[in-house]
Amino acid sequence: MSQSRRDAIDNDIRIEKYKRKYLKELRGGCFKIRHSENILKCPFCPDSRDYCYDDLLRHANRIGRQSKGATFIERAKHMGLVEYLEKDFDTKVKLKSFDSPSESLLDTTQKQNANEDVYIWPWMAVVANIHVEYKNGMYVGDSGSKLKEDWTGKGYKPEKVHTMWNYKGHSGLSVVVFGSTWDGLCRVLMFMKDFEVKKHGREDWFSREINGNDDKLYAWIATDKDYNYIGLVGKYLKKNGDLKTVAGFQKEEQVKNSKLFMGLKAMIDEKDKRSDEINAEINKTDMELKMKQKKQMSLIWVHDQYHRPFLSHEES
């Protein structure tokens, strides 16, 4: 290995070490990011301008990954900020975009009944704190197929497991899909409850800096909170799911079953009609055949009556 390659690897290790330091401080609340409901500022840049979430994330990515003039420490700080924004920054109040105010994010849950929980359909769960390791310049961790196999063995039977990746590799997050049926809802609720009783649910994940970190998995059923979360998980849920209440899903299923029943009834009626038509054709054919047979028998009788005197005369 060349000296320049060794220096690059050493540099990556040092940046990763300091990035972890600043990430921990961000999680511990040592730096202020939100300055009002709609305004964020970079905690590491003096006289930072006002940002919306997307702009601040682009700013941190640009300095952490692309800036050639940034110092070693500046890069580590902003890389820590990127990870904090993507994995830990829970945007409970949607932020308006200063670049395109007409496209400001709307709180989709306003359209739902305020008294009902809103879930992602097909039914999904979010899993966090998947173990990752830093190897060859990127993070690696368990694949979706391995996680699916593990959870299937425990009786949860997920349909799919999608691990979340970004430019740094495995993010330690995944979305588990349980399907779109009532059975899928029962399985995702069972999955969620098993983590909640161990104090490893959604609220526990976001308060782990207070309650203490560990290396165990955290999981919860995906809801409108995760759908409205700006980051890898929110982006995936918006692309692959819809917001539904259980009552709304039940109503849709009733309508669907009603339409299915009417469709089956129409199909049966059509088959009965076709069956009657076929039976009528069979009866008509049978009648025609019987008439032909009767006519043939009549012709044979006439023939026999005509030839009988001649036969009698010849015999005498």
* Domain limit, last residue, from 105, 140, 171: 105
* pLDDT at residue 144 in the model: 92
In a domain, 280, yes or no: no
Same domain, 122 and 238: yes
- What integer pLDDT is reported at residue 213 of this predicted model? 67
How large is the angle between the packed helices 72-87 and 53-61, nearest 10 degrees? 140
The predicted pLDDT at position 233 comes to 92
Tell me the sheet residues that pair with 166: 169
CATH number at residue 197: 3.30.70.2890
pLDDT of residue 130: 93
Give the pLDDT confidence score for residue 260 in this predicted structure.
67
Q: Are 155 and 123 found together in one domain?
A: yes
243 beta partners: 120
| 92 and 122 assigned to the same domain | no
Residues of the chain with pLDDT under 70: 1-10, 37, 90-115, 209-213, 259-261, 265, 269, 272-273, 275-277, 279-280, 303, 305-316
Domain encompassing residue 21: 1-105
In terms of DSSP bridges, do strands 123-128 and 218-221 run parallel, antiparallel, or are they unpaired? Answer: antiparallel
Q: Where does a domain end: 73, 105, 137?
A: 105
DSSP 8-state secondary structure symbol assigned to residue 2: -
Query: Which pLDDT score is estimated for 148?
Result: 94
**Number of domains forming the structure of the chain:** 2
Residue 180 CB neighbours (<10 A): 16
Whole-model pTM over 0.75? no
* 229-250 pLDDT, tens digit each: 878 999 999 999 999 888 888 8
Looking at residue 188, what is its pLDDT? 93
Residue 152: the pLDDT is: 93
The whole-number pLDDT of residue 14 equals 83
